[in-house]
Amino acid sequence: MLTISNFALYSAFIIMLVALVPFSLAVKSKHKDKYNKIAIIMTSIAFVLQIVYFITRWIVAGHAPVSNLYEFVSFFGIMIIGGFLLFNMIYNTPVLGLFAIPIALLVIGYASMFSRDVSPLVPSLQSHWLAIHVITVSISYGVLSISAVAGLIYIIKTTEPSIRNKEFFGIEMIMWFIVTVIAFILITITMKGIIQYEDLYLYTDKNDQTQVAEYHLPAITVFDSSVPVNDLGDNQYEQIDGNQGFIKLPPFINAQKVNTVIWSIFGGTLLYGLIRLFVRKPLFMLVKPWTRNVNIELMDEIGYRSVIIGYPLFALGGLLFAAIWAQEAWSRFWGWDPKETWAFITFMFYTVFLHLRLNKGFDGKKSAWLAVIGMLVILFNLIAVNLIIAGLHSYA
């Protein structure tokens, strides 16, 4: 059953990758409707396969497959596809798919870099609220991501490369971030999968428990009390004269994950520079031709409507359902855990977004930038808060 689940997800990935061809032709060709129909059929088949993955993994695990970072981020990517299909039914605009699908593929590719093992739930997660809370949040993330996609298309369409203003540098920073995620995937595949680089460090966590950190990249940051060790088997380790790292971090910060982030930023910056050197123009100019015939008013409307749908969904799943589950699991509705705090920040950001949009005239490019920044807020919550800052919600 798990083999079927994995095969369904991989097949969906390939189908979506191939679907970019008819989406591209639908944007550029005179036969828009023909190619768009093919692209939507392929994307719909891929989405069905992704749901097959989700259901079959649920059956194997015995619980909703959203309990670790691989499962949660994968489902987030799936919901981006679901959000796109929803808005395509309403607006029928292939350019949205041409930009949404690569982002969803990147999210699912990022998820695949983490452990795919099916493991039993820790006691605090053994609740029906796991499915209710996390699935609702993931759906809201997927819908809100469509707002960012529409905003990104709007910004690329309206930004002139000849004017080196803050918008120019802002859109290039977004391109750098995308390249950095790609660099992370390539570095992880190379070092963990091909070279199989591994260093082990024994350290004391924030609960004064002895733990072992597994590094697949040379250590730049390590835990304050860590020492390099060799694994002797049977949970026995011996200290060795290995790499001691350069920066010592307190135990409430995941030094191993910070190390990965540092290497990803370095690799992403290097890859970005090499691409710029090769193409000899800003990276957003590589995709700008695909926005030539875009109706920016339509993108503005899609960006706004997706927030209108995603915002109450996030309030329901990310705050209300989360508070009910927190009361059940930890006997308090709210505790300002890093994840809870950032969920509140995310909610307040979109509250301000709608206030500015409805009462202060923040439409058009201003609204587009707010939508993109909102996506960055979600990604910070997903990556930095989940991985780097130790808390009750930290994923393994």
pLDDT tens digits, residue range 156-169?
999 988 888 888 99
Q: Is residue 202 part of a domain?
A: no
Structural domain including 100 reads: 2-161+287-388
| Eight-state DSSP code of residue 227 | E
Q: Is residue 74 part of a domain?
A: yes
Which helix (H) or strand (E) segment holds residue 142: the answer is helix 129-158
Distance CA 375, CA 99 (A): 14
Provide the domain count of the chain: 1
Distance CA 307, CA 148 (A): 9
The structure tokens listed for 341 are 């705090």
| Eight-state DSSP code of residue 388 | I
Q: Is residue 98 part of a domain?
A: yes
pTM of the model: 0.91
Distance CA 14, CA 46 (A): 8
State which of 84-88, 292-296, 317-321, 332-336 shows the largest mean pLDDT. Answer: 84-88
pLDDT, one tens digit per residue, over 315-326 is 999 899 988 887
Q: Is residue 301 part of a domain?
A: yes
Q: Is residue 214 part of a domain?
A: no
Torsions phi, psi of 334, nearest 5? Answer: -150, 135
Confidence at residue 35, expressed as pLDDT on a 0 to 100 scale: 93
Q: Is residue 64 part of a domain?
A: yes
Q: Is residue 37 part of a domain?
A: yes
396 pLDDT more than 50:
no
Q: Is residue 195 part of a domain?
A: no
C-alpha separations of 252 from 39, 211, 385, 390 in Å: 46, 13, 11, 5
pLDDT, one tens digit per residue, over 274-317 is 999 999 999 999 999 999 889 999 999 999 999 999 999 999 99
Which helix (H) or strand (E) segment holds residue 375: the answer is helix 365-380
C-alpha separations of 143 from 110, 185, 310 in Å: 19, 25, 5
Question: Which of left, alpha, beta for 262 (phi over 0: left; psi -120 to 50: alpha)?
Answer: alpha
Give 133's Cβ-side CA count (13 Å radius). Answer: 21
Which has the closest alpha carbon to 263: 216, 305, 230, 223?
A: 216
**Length in residues, the chain:** 396
**With b meaning 16 or more CB within 10 Å and e meaning fewer, what string describes 287-310?**
ebebbeebebebbbbbbbbbbebb
